[in-house]
A and B are shown apart, each in its own frame.
Chain A
Amino acid sequence: MASAHDVPAAIEAIYRIESPRIVAGLTRIVGDVGVAEDLAQDALLAALEQWPASGIPENPGAWLMAAARHRAVDRVRHERMRARKHEEIGRARAADGADPTDAMDAALDDPIGDDLLRLVFLTCHPVLSLEARIALTLRLLGGLTTEEIARGFLTGEPTVAQRIVRAKRTLAEQRVPFEVPRGAALGERLAGVLAVLYLIFNEGYTATAGAEWTRPPLCLEALRLGRVLAGLLPGEPEVHGLVALMEFQASRLRARRGPSGAILRLAEQDRTLWDQTLVRRGVAALQRARDLGGPPGKHLLEAEIAACHALARSVETTEWARIVQLYDRLLEVAPSPVVALNRVVAVSMASGPEQALVLLDTLAGVPQLRGYHLLPAVRGDFLFRLGRRAEARAEFERAAALTRNDRERELLLARSQACTEPGSS
């Protein structure tokens, strides 16, 4: 492993580990996240030039940090000189004369990760479009390459690259402060950060489009970022709630795909493939969220529901009545048509498809669910279970025409096909 040709791979790994903290520290100094990333990458280039000959230093993170800092100092001095030349009187304000190195030492020494947290709030800032927040977060905090992000979201690499460039420019132009929101703003902005992480996770868990049903690397990165955030904000129950939710859902990743990549539904999954390491971590994170007290938030309730599934031995022994109750509370905290739809599915398991079908039909006119493929898919499932095969078939076909994911379409067409076959449900 220590052979010379592995040094570039080692440097890449080190950079992935260190770059978020370096970029965060530099952003505080130079005030521009784009410039900060350029400086950090210059430091990486220096490492790539020097380490193959000199060997990897004992503390490579500190080396990279120091190299980046030298470049930032040079830049700040250079800019000041230029600014002075522009000032005709040549009178520099006293504060400007201080050695930037001292400030930088203070800024780069960030043991509790305050700068990292500021960077999280910056990349998830509401002045950016949702796509830009996702791309910038994965790039600067996840250390993903443009190509990896493009693959995750089925977009072209140039599109992602442009999105990132534009996002950095927007942050600079709008002079978005590099800070952790305080007071009432914190809760709202934190909810926005968590939403970005969960969007990334979900795109990996149930891809909206494309040939693959899941893209696990996205799930794992969102989960890892969630754990990092939980370390930075240990007192926020919703962070632990989201981490718990993602741990539970990720525990099923392996079991959700059949041998040819086909989708396996909850009832069809081999529960022995559920990852017990992640289930245990989910339970621990959920307990941390509960222990912090207060009225349960959206993600905590979602995690409670996910825990019911993760800890059940089978679909039959799942506590569906409890799940329905949790959905009731979730609808109070965060009403949404999709949550209402999920609740109806739980009702069908707790009280049977007949009652659920009546409830489902009250959702039929909701505008947000128009064109949502899971609405006819769920209806088809209820009708199928009630033995109304011909109607079920039409619903599955409608759902198949609506989904943009190839694997999901296969499943829905297979279910539609099953409606024409003799035999019991």
Chain B
Amino acid sequence: MRVLGLLRADASSEAGEPPSPELLERCGRFMEEVTRAGVLLASDGLQPSSQGARVRLTGGKVTVLDGPFTESKELIASYALLEVKSMAEAVEWTTRFLRALGGGECELRPLYEGPPGQEP
């Protein structure tokens, strides 16, 4: 199964602070582990919401709202797409990731995968 992991933003990621060398090293080691296990399909870090925009279509009218956005609980700092055998495996990899980060919160969401109309 495929699971998308979303790391919640925090004040530091929203400020665009570069990670410390120690943090980079710990995360690098984790990334190598999960890549070599063959389960990480894709991942990227996101720039702060100040660089982003929200586009909305309501009643035929488009509004574009430029960042930054304040409700940081709803903001995302990075994502990872995993191919795993179970949710428990996704939880385990996420736990390892958060331990490498030293803290934080991820949301895990399984993807719809079968052809349309034959879910899951």
Contact = CB atoms under 8 A, between A and B. Distances in A.
A225 B99 contact: no
A312 interface: no
A255 B39 CA distance: 22
Interface of A: 1, 6, 9-10, 12-14, 16-17, 58, 60, 113, 220, 223-228, 231-232, 254-255, 257-259, 273, 277-278, 280-281
B115 A254 contact: yes
State the majority secondary structure of interface residues on B: mixed
Interface residues of B, number: 23
Interface stretch (B18-26, B44-52, B61-69, B85-93): B85-93
Given A13-B92, A254-B115, A220 B35 contact: no
Given A220-B83, A277-B81, A10 B115 contact: no
B88 A224 contact: no
Contacts of A255: 115
A4 to B, nearest CB: 14
Contacts of B91: 1, 10, 13
Contacts of B89: 13, 16-17
State the majority secondary structure of interface residues on A: helix
B37 A228 contact: yes
Contacts of B86: 9, 12-13
A197 B34 CA distance: 20
B70 interface: no
B15 interface: no
The 5 closest A-B pairs by CB, nearest first: A227-B38, A224-B38, A13-B88, A231-B36, A13-B89
A10 B92 contact: yes
Contacts of A58: 99
B83 A259 contact: no
Given A13-B86, A13-B91, A58-B99, A281 B41 contact: yes
Given A12-B88, A16-B89, A220-B83, A113 B36 contact: yes
Contacts of B37: 17, 224, 228
Interface string B78-120: 0001010111110111000001000000000000011101100
A415 B75 CA distance: 53
Interface of B: 35-39, 41-42, 81, 83, 85-89, 91-93, 99, 113-115, 117-118
A212 B98 CA distance: 40
24 contacts: A6-B88, A9-B86, A10-B91, A12-B86, A13-B89, A13-B91, A13-B92, A14-B92, A16-B85, A17-B89, A60-B92, A224-B38, A224-B39, A225-B38, A226-B38, A227-B36, A227-B38, A228-B36, A228-B37, A231-B35, A254-B115, A259-B115, A259-B117, A281-B41
Given A13-B85, A228-B38, 11 more contacts: A9-B88, A12-B88, A17-B89, A17-B92, A227-B38, A228-B36, A228-B37, A231-B35, A254-B115, A258-B115, A277-B41
Contacts of B87: 1
Contacts of A258: 115
Contacts of B39: 224
A17 B87 CA distance: 13
A281 B89 CA distance: 22
Given A13-B89, A58-B99, A277-B81, A254 B38 contact: no
A229 to B, nearest CB: 9
Nearest to B92: A13
A278 B118 CA distance: 21
Contacts of B113: 254
Nearest to B81: A277
Contacts of A17: 37, 89, 92-93
A13 B89 CA distance: 5
B79 to A, nearest CB: 12
A13 B99 CA distance: 17
B115 A257 contact: yes
Instruction: Kindly name the residue among B41, B92, B113, B117 whose own CB sees the greatest number of chain A CB atoms within 10 A.
Output: B92
A78 to B, nearest CB: 33
